[in-house]
Amino acid sequence: MCCVTFEFNDVTCRTREHLQGAQVTAFGRDETADDLLAALLDGMDAALCAFDADGVITHWNREAERILGWSAIEAVGRKGFAGWAVRAADAQDVQDRLMAAQDVQGRQVHEFALLTKDGGRLLVRTQSAGVPGADGKPAGVYCAFSEVHAQIDLERSIALSEALMEDASWGVVLVDVDLRPAVVNAHAARAFGSGRTVLLGRPLGELLAQGVEELEGALQHVLAEGAPPAPAELWVSVRGPEGVRRRCWRCGFLRLASPLAEEPVPLGVALLFQDVTEARQAQLDTAQLRFRSHQLYRAGRAAAECEDPAEAAAVRLEFALAGFAEHALVDVLDGSLRERVRLLRWAASPPGLPGLPEPGAIPVRYDAGHPVLQALDRAGSVRTSAPGGQADGAWAGARRWPEGAAHALCTVLRSRGRSLGTLTFLRGPSRAAFERADAEYAEEVAARVAADLDLSGR
């Protein structure tokens, strides 16, 4: 609809120039200019007719014929609309208002009720303007018109586009076929943490640190197959002046096609999104808390069936690993030593990890400042990660952890006011680093494991 508007305004202005310069037929001009102007008028998407200085119709294009049903042969040569395209009671008023455009500058806008060839009435909105002759005197009037409801639809479309680009409470990004932003509204610019013009033409990979593959895949799917039936939620990491921010966007997609082409030609994709990070994060936290509480409940029921408290402690570790970490290591203090701290590997879950000491009496050689020793000193939890959160064999090996470890959480085992050892959870690079909520869960597991170990006398 917007494209039609631009074409309409441009063509009507050019038509005025042609009517002035060519002075076809009724205004006195050669046949070549007349053929050129006739082809131009017939190719317009707007209905258009022209009057000479006496009000006689000189031109009537195909769109006017489509709207009212009167052909050019039937219309050209008639004086005004009286007696055929307008009611007799309205004819003089319509004629006076149309021809008055010769005496004023610019276009005049009116609404008239015209008659169709089959006898029906149609409300149209007209734009008329005078056509001066070579001597500068009024030589006629051209009049472009369309059905009022079609014009209102056009105005609504324009108003909607402007509102989306300025006042919408969700982000709107028009992406071209090269998947680069072509138009960005104010809300989307704030979501990206940048100015509207700065975002235009830049690859999405420069704007997003993570999630760009998923977003580009969705855009390509829309270009090829059309809009999905329902909105989709995408997690992205947005680059901005404040650093990388992890956000969840609820996205809707619309494929844009040119209305002027004979066959649909994709112009790009309209991406509409809302930031639902807080709501989704709250849901994830609630679901995680529910799952972990259920795991503790199941672990307690399973441990209650174990005769040996040490076996119960191992069962609790297996339940704790589900959805939380890849590995769990339990080191206990050597009670025979009083002058220095020495830790013995008591259990590893899953068992048989390569490169780790087997559970038994051989002490684990932790260097000074090791996270396990820090946890013992603090009687609390210590979190650490490899540089960049990537698996580093040297980093893990120096800390006596499995080669694929990238994130670690060490907490102390305490029972009856004394420390029994430490519990270490390890994650690989595919998982996120441990957070404070993870430490609280680990401390809850450690308290129950410590109680079992204390009961077993280990």
Does the structure show a pLDDT above 80 at 360? no
Does the structure show a pLDDT above 50 at 8? no
Alpha helix (H) residue ranges in 88-185: 88-99, 148-166
CB 329 within 8 A of CB 357: no
Query: pLDDT band at residue 10, thresholds of 50, 70 and 90?
Result: very low
Does the structure show a pLDDT above 60 at 451? yes
- Supply the pLDDT for residue 409: 96
Does the structure show a pLDDT above 90 at 273? yes
CB 147 within 8 A of CB 122: yes
Nearest in space to 43 (alpha carbons), one of 262, 200, 210, 320: 262
Query: pLDDT band at residue 398, thresholds of 50, 70 and 90?
Result: confident
Query: pLDDT band at residue 238, thresholds of 50, 70 and 90?
Result: very high
Helix 31-42 vs helix 2-22: angle between axes, to the nearest 10 degrees?
170
- Supply the pLDDT for residue 358: 58
In SS3 terms, 123-139 reads as: EEEEEEEEEECCCCCEE
- Supply the pLDDT for residue 247: 93
Nearest in space to 453 (alpha carbons), one of 340, 317, 295, 297: 317
CB 254 within 8 A of CB 247: no
- Supply the pLDDT for residue 20: 41
Does the structure show a pLDDT above 60 at 97? yes
- Supply the pLDDT for residue 46: 80
The single-letter DSSP state of residue 390 is -
- Supply the pLDDT for residue 11: 36
- Supply the pLDDT for residue 19: 39
CB 171 within 8 A of CB 185: yes
Tens of pLDDT along 309-354? 989 999 999 999 999 999 999 999 886 555 567 888 888 888 766 5
Give the residue-averaged pLDDT of 250-261: 83
- Supply the pLDDT for residue 151: 74
Mean pLDDT, rounded, of the chain: 83
- Supply the pLDDT for residue 137: 83
CA distance 356 to 405: 13
SS3 143: strand
Q: How far apart are the first and last CA of the chain?
A: 80
CA atoms within 13 A on the CB side of 101: 30
Does the structure show a pLDDT above 80 at 24? no
Percent over 90 (pLDDT), the chain: 35
Using DSSP bridges, classify how beta strands 208-210 and 181-184 pair: parallel, antiparallel or unpaired: unpaired
CA distance 412 to 446: 7
| Burial profile 411-443: b = 16 or more Cβ within 10 angstroms, e = fewer | bbbbbeeebbbbbbbbbbeeeeebeeebbebbb
Does the structure show a pLDDT above 80 at 183? yes
- Supply the pLDDT for residue 356: 56
Give the residue-averaged pLDDT of 238-243: 84
Give the residue-averaged pLDDT of 34-52: 78
Q: Which of 38-52, 63-77, 163-177, 418-432 has the lowest mean pLDDT?
A: 38-52
